Amino acid sequence: MFRRLNRKHRRSASTALLGVLAAASFASVAAAVTFNVDPLHSSVFFKITHFDTSNFYGRFGRVDGTVTVENAVPTALAVRTDAESIDTNSKERDDHLRGPDFFDVKQFPDITFKSTAIQPGKELGTFTVTGELTLHGVTKPLTATLAKTGQGKNTKGVDIVGFETTFTIKRSEFGMSGYLNKGVGDEVTLTVSLESAAQ
């Protein structure tokens, strides 16, 4: 009788353990949350040199995408910027930048980035993001440091989270070589600051 009870006890313990493991597995899956990039509270800025003399700044007015976060850690990132939304505070210059000398927005309307891997960074709250950047119809690998800037709730009580990154590319590597020898630099530094709300 003792042995039968003991086996019964072991079966109950095993069943309970399986239940705990299943619950833990479910909790891990449930912890992954997808956040939508909020276009009204996100920014994309760029910096480029002019005649090797000054830094010139501009922005893109429209950005969207998603960030997946699990246990407070980003696990996936996808961002799209509307190239036509470029804004340098000059209509004439913006029209030129939208044309074939630069972004050629009619043929290449989107600038996109999609992560392929995200790893913890060297500093607390930072992450090394590897992925693919598509600009001017050319896709190239990109690795950048992503910093978590905060988290909280918006006015509707929805969970929000913020991330920011700054990285530098050469526009000539993406086939955008217009005015390279006419005063406009090759290296472009972009800052992407995202506020995203849980779906």
26 to 19, 21, 31, 74, 199: CA distances (angstroms): 10, 9, 9, 19, 19
**pTM of the predicted model, to two decimals?**
0.83
Domain assignments of the chain as residue spans, ordered by start: 1-30, 32-198
Neighbours of 153 (CB within 10 A): 11
Average pLDDT across the chain, whole number: 89
Report the pLDDT averaged over residues 103-125.
97
* CB-based burial label for 68 (10 Å; 0-12, 13-18, 19+): middle
**Which of the given ranges, 7-16, 27-36, 58-67, has the highest pLDDT on average?**
58-67
Q: What's the pLDDT tens digit per position in 77-95?
A: 999 999 999 999 999 999 9
- pLDDT(181) > 90: no
pLDDT at site 165: 98
- pLDDT(16) > 80: no
Report the pLDDT averaged over residues 3-22.
46
In CATH terms, the fold of domain 32-198 is Lipocalin (2.40.128)
